[in-house]
Amino acid sequence: MIISNTSSSKIALTAKVGYNPNGDLIWLLIRPWILIPRVIVIITTLVSLGIRLLFQGSSKNQEVQNQLAKRLLHTLTNLGPCFIKIGQALSTRPDLVRRDWLEELTKLQDNLPAFDHSLALKIIEDELGGAASVLFEEFPKTPIAAASLGQVYKARLYGNYWVAVKVQRPNLPEILRIDLVIIKSLCIFISPILPLNLGFGLSEIIDEFGRSLFEEINYEMEADNAERFARLFANNAAITIPRVERMLSSRRVITTSWIDGIKLENRLALERENLDPTSLIRTGVISGIQQLLEFGYFHADPHPGNMFALKGNTNNLGHIAYVDFGMMDSITEEDRITLTSAVVHLINKEFNLLAIDFQKLGFLSLKQDLSIIAPILEEVLGGSLGEEVESFNFKAITDRFSELMYDYPFRVPARFALIIRAVVSQEGLALKLDPSFKIIAVAYPYVAKRLLSGDTKEMLNLLLEVIFDQTGRLNIERLENLFNVISKDTSSSSNSELMPVAGASLKLLISNNGSELRKNLLMTLIKDEKLNTKDLKELIKLIRRVFRPSHLVHGIKQSLNLRTT
């Protein structure tokens, strides 16, 4: 059972708002009657689990593995919200956790023990100023789901309008503060023996986790997040965001419109409802890429319990709904541009430039000699790319970087903790539904389309960097590579995408924003007041190859088919 009350003396913590690791540490150190028993429980529980995993983890007996999975679930559940959150993260990592354990760990998402219903009713009354039986036309006696931080009721407001009412667990801030202090202290103590060269970044990452948890339990902030997220996807028919009922929401209670869908966790369940898992994956991944590289604001907890499949299909993309907007984060414009640049440099195998990207992002010190880093990146990442973009995925990156961080001066900046979590969770979810899925095969075509469209100033600057070399000469090979990536795009009807992208490129070329592009093209085509016929011929050949009549006809047919389906 999830821990609830620990001691009445910790009520002093309730008044605090937000995460305060130093203050909480001092508070807990002068109250050993709270600290010592909890430390003993955590250490003995984890050591007991560790011993069992050590001796039985390699067993080929399926029954033994099933029992281990149940023991892992039971342990994390009993240790409480902080540890449940760790388990939720593991439940989306098929590269780290045995697949037969993943099914058990997914129960941590919304299949946990509920807290007492009378307490939930009391919290609703205290927070909203009225009894649930008065505020709602119909309110159930039991929750429909219980998660680590709260439980959800399916209630009716009026007519046939159903809502989800999420009520926070009692004493949650106090429980989180105590466990976060202990977790941080234990991690710092054992960090020297961990097989990772995380350095001082480990403490910062835990603090980032703590801050995000305290933002997640502020339901007023979650309501703001949901409405901001909804505005970003307002014109996207494939993405649904529930509507917040502000009059029935507060710091510990949030009410939103009910989402009637299927959780994105079981391929067979989706197929039974005639939903295409692959098209749903595309939607989830593309929306995730948009959040990171375009909007700069992203859902940091995209696990199966927070994403639902809906009926419908728009332009070969399935319809999904996001819920639970407690764990959100932003990424700066500078980081967005650098991340986009890193994707391009990675695919083009420009490892010198990729090393600079890592330095800008903070994965390498500004004083680091990059001449020794570029060959390392080429050795570790270049081989993973293979001959095709589609052979590469984020799992390959994280696996190889685990090796790099031990032997070389790489570290994880604290601000990237949630970004990495979001990307890894997104790919983990996709791999559960389709083990052959490659996230970069969707990410790079998206970047290529944005580059060729030049829809923002930063995209235009990056396009100029990509298609012109350091001497200002047009790089036909790179330009062709961008078009080829779009034509091979597995996330859409590729040939039908070429014409809109080409149209956007032409529009950019003749617009005011395209003055720098026109200037560079003229400079590369005219050298020493003479027409550079070689580059001109290569450019004409490229246009003929990419936009040959057979491609155009096929693209038009695909566009017509999409409009009639």
Q: Is the pLDDT of residue 16 over 60?
A: no
Which of 24, 301, 357, 489 is catalytic? The answer is 301
Domain boundary residue, one of 75, 110, 145: 110
Cβ contacts of 196 within 8 Å, gap of 6 or more: 402, 405, 406
Residue 458 lies in a domain: yes
pLDDT digits (tens, 9 = 90+) for 502-531: 777 777 777 787 787 778 777 777 766 666
Residues 460 and 449 reside in one and the same domain: no
Closest CA to 463 of 362, 556, 337, 553: 337
Task: Say whether both 435 and 470 belong to one domain.
Answer: no
Q: Compare 98 and 170 and report the one with higher pLDDT.
A: 170
Tell me, yes or no, whether 369 lies in a domain.
Answer: yes
Based on the domain organization, do 380 and 286 belong to the same domain? yes
Q: What is the mean pLDDT of residues 379-400?
A: 59
Residue 131 has pLDDT above 90, yes or no: yes
Q: Which of 250-264, 385-399, 424-438, 515-529 has the lowest mean pLDDT?
A: 385-399
User: Are 332 and 434 in a shared domain?
Assistant: yes
pLDDT of 140 > 60? The answer is yes
Lowest-pLDDT choice from 197-201, 309-313, 533-537: 197-201
Query: What single-letter DSSP state applies at residue 13?
Result: G
Per-residue model confidence (pLDDT) at position 287: 93
Which of these ranges, 3-17, 73-87, 429-443, 507-521, has the smallest mean pLDDT?
A: 3-17
Indicate if 356 and 339 belong to the same structural domain.
yes
- Out of 436, 453, 470, a domain closes at 453
Residues 397 and 425 in one domain: yes
In angstroms, the Cα distances linking 284 to 31, 131, 222, 383 are 46, 38, 21, 28
Paired residues of 318 in beta bridges: 313
Nearest of 261, 245, 243 to residue 253 by alpha carbon: 245
- Asked if residue 2 belongs to a domain, the reply is no
Of the three residues 87, 110, 133, the one that is the final residue of a domain is 110
Query: Tell me, what's the pLDDT at 156?
Result: 97
Between 96 and 24, residue with greater pLDDT: 24
**In 10-144, which ranges are E strands?**
none
Residues 332, 458, single domain; the answer is: no
Ranked by mean pLDDT, the top range of 410-414, 460-464, 497-501 is 460-464
Considering only residues 13 and 352, tell me which one the structure prediction assigns the higher pLDDT.
Answer: 352
306 in any annotated domain: yes
Band (pLDDT 50/70/90 cuts) for residue 532 is low
Q: Are 215 and 330 in contact (CB under 8 A)?
A: no
Active site residue 469: no
- What is the 3-state composition of the chain as percent helix, strand, coil, each rounded to the nearest 5? 60, 10, 30
* 360 & 482 share domain: no
Helical ranges in 454-532 per DSSP H: 457-467, 476-487, 494-510, 515-525
Domain assignment present for residue 165? The answer is no
Mean pLDDT is lowest, of 107-121, 157-171, 378-392, 428-442, for: 378-392
Q: List CB contacts of 285: < 8 A, sequence separation 6 or more.
A: 426, 427, 430, 439, 442, 443, 491
- How far apart are alpha carbons 336 and 325 in whole angstroms? 21
Q: Which domain holds residue 480?
A: 454-564
Other C-beta atoms closer than 10 Å to the C-beta of 507 total 13
Query: What integer pLDDT is reported at residue 95 of this predicted model?
Result: 53
Higher pLDDT, 96 or 561: 96
Please give the residue that has the higher pLDDT: either 181 or 467.
Answer: 181
Estimate to the nearest angstrom the gap between the alpha carbon of 45 and the chain centroid: 30
378 and 523 share a domain?
no
In this structure, is residue 328 part of a structural domain?
yes
Q: Residues 215-231: what's their mean pLDDT?
A: 95
**524 in the same domain as 446:** no
For residue 401, being part of any structural domain is answered with: yes
Q: How far apart are CA 89 and CA 103, in angstroms?
A: 13
Number of domains in the chain: 3
Dist. CA 331–CA 88, nearest whole Å:
23
Each residue of 426-465: pLDDT tens digit?
887 888 888 877 777 777 788 888 887 777 777 888 888 8
Long-range contact pairs involving 17-24 (C-beta distance under 8 Å, separation at least 24): 18/211, 18/214, 19/180, 19/207, 19/210, 19/211, 19/213, 19/214, 21/180, 21/181, 21/184, 21/207, 21/210, 24/177, 24/178, 24/180, 24/181
The answer to whether residue 27 is domain-embedded is yes
Element (H, E) at 528: none
- The sign one gets for the Cα dihedral 291, 296, 297, 299 is positive
Q: State pLDDT tens for residues 89-102.
A: 776 665 567 767 87
Average pLDDT for the chain: 80
pLDDT at residue 124 tops 90: yes
Same domain, 426 and 286: yes
Statement: residue 542 has pLDDT above 80: no
- The secondary structure of 193-234 as a DSSP string is GSSS--TTHHHHHHHHHHHHHHHHT-HHHHHHHHHHHHHHTT
Cα 228 to chain centroid, rounded: 17
pLDDT at position 421 over 80: no
Q: How confident is the model at residue 166 (pLDDT cuts 50, 70, 90)?
A: very high
Q: Taking Cα atoms as reference points, which of 239, 235, 244 lies closest to residue 261?
A: 239
**Coil, strand or helix at 369:** coil
If one counts every other C-beta atom within 10 angstroms of the C-beta of residue 307, the result is 26
- Specify the 3-state DSSP secondary structure of 308: strand
- Confidence (pLDDT) at 357: 92
Q: Do 465 and 337 share a structural domain?
A: no
